[in-house]
């Protein structure tokens, strides 16, 4: 493992937007790696399988083999072997259910008779563009029938080159409203993702580590959960106005250097390596 402290790095709004690299991001990752930092990509993207994320990064010039962790993986870590899962999610969530040794009893967007939903132990919800009223009915009914509710993440929106679109958290909100049950949330900024990151890195003390992200409400809070510093970049959700509006709530972190704001990932990387 590199001797320098690892860097935790979000993907969407930091490295790329819809797999289109943000200017300077590829060079930034290389700078950090050349300086001995392991870069672990920590994403709330629950839709893609791990290999697709790794391959997409490879296509833009970033080697990320075994260096991507997702909110679907964090959710999968909460499943028990053999339990029956009704899934409202994409391929990444399917992969996580199977890797956990759980049984994929049904998907909310398939055409299976909903009677099977009486027999599920857990409902897992993540981003899936096929979400509709029928799926909402199946997911919420299973929860009301006693299944526990696990969510990959609660990000309400997702950044794209054309602006924000509804994220998995928007889907989750409708399931929560229809079922009346609060979920266990796996992804950033919650504890299951922190546990997964520590497990993957084999490190318990991350106080010298930076979490690079664009969302204070997700990446910033996750830095607090995992016990590291937060580098906020302005290439995704946040703007300079958002930073100025939020600075009063984070005065102590700003004062002790545990939170800093950068224009982009490349500017952060150059600060870290001393350029």
3-state helix, strand, coil in the chain (%, to 5): 40, 20, 40
pLDDT score of 1: 42
Cβ pair 10, 220 in contact under 8 A: no
Considering 12, 109, 121, 264, which one is annotated as catalytic? Answer: 12
Domain final residue pick, 160, 185, 210: 185
In this structure, are 203 and 256 located in the same domain? yes
Residue 126 domain flag: yes
Dist. CA 262–CA 50, nearest whole Å: 28
Q: Is 121 a catalytic residue?
A: no
Q: Pick the last residue of a domain from 185, 220, 250.
A: 185
Q: Is 12 a catalytic residue?
A: yes
- Clarify whether residues 90 and 172 are in a common domain: yes
Q: So what's the pLDDT on residue 186?
A: 98
166 DSSP β-pair partners: 157
- Residue 16: what pLDDT? 95
H/E segment holding residue 157: strand 157-160
59 domain-assigned? no
Distance CA 64, CA 39 (A): 8
Cβ-based neighbours of 119, under 8 Å, separated by 6 or more: 84, 105
Note the pLDDT of residue 254.
Answer: 53
**178 near 162, Cβ under 8 Å?**
no
Residue 101: CB partners within 8 Å, gap ≥ 6? 79, 81, 82
| C-alpha–C-alpha distance, residues 57 and 51, integer Å | 10
In this structure, what token pair is assigned to residue 209? 């580590």
Residues 117 and 138 in one domain: yes
Choice among 10, 109, 155, 253 that is catalytic: 10
Tell me the CATH number at 147.
Answer: 3.40.50.1000
User: pLDDT tens-digit profile of 84-116?
Assistant: 999 999 999 999 999 999 999 999 998 766 565
- List, for the chain, all residue ranges whose pLDDT scores fall below the cut of 70: 1-2, 112-117, 238-256
Query: How many domains does the chain divide into?
Result: 2
Strands (E), 77-147: 84-88, 103-107, 122-125
- Predicted TM-score (pTM) of this structure: 0.91
Domain hosting 246: range is 7-44+189-273
């Amino acid at each position: 493992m590199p001797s320098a402290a690892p860097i935790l790095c979000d993907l969407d709004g930091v490295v790329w937007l819809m797999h289109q690299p943000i200017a300077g991001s590829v060079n930034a990752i290389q700078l950090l790696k050349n300086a001995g930092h392991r870069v672990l990509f920590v994403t709330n993207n629950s839709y893609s399988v791990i290999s697709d994320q790794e391959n997409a990064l490879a296509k833009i010039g970033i080697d990320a083999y075994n260096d991507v962790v997702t909110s679907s993986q964090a959710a999968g870590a909460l499943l028990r072997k053999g339990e029956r899962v009704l899934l409202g999610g994409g391929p990444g969530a399917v992969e996580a259910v199977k890797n956990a040794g759980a049984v994929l009893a049904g998907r909310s967007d398939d055409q299976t008779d909903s009677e099977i939903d009486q027999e599920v132990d857990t409902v897992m919800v993540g981003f899936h563009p096929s979400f509709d009223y029928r799926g909402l009915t199946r997911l919420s009914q299973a929860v009301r029938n006693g299944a526990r509710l696990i969510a990959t993440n609660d990000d309400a929106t997702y950044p794209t080159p054309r602006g924000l679109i509804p994220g998995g958290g928007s889907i989750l909100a409708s399931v929560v409203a229809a079922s009346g049950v609060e979920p266990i949330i796996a992804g950033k900024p919650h504890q299951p993702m922190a546990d997964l990151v520590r497990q993957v890195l084999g490190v318990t003390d991350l106080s010298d580590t930076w979490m690079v992200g664009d969302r204070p409400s997700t990446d910033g809070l996750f830095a607090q959960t995992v016990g590291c510093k937060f580098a906020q970049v302005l290439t995704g959700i946040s703007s300079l106005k958002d930073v100025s509006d939020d600075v009063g709530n984070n005065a102590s972190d700003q004062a002790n250097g545990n939170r800093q704001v950068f224009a982009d990932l490349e500017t952060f990387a150059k600060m870290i390596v001393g350029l």
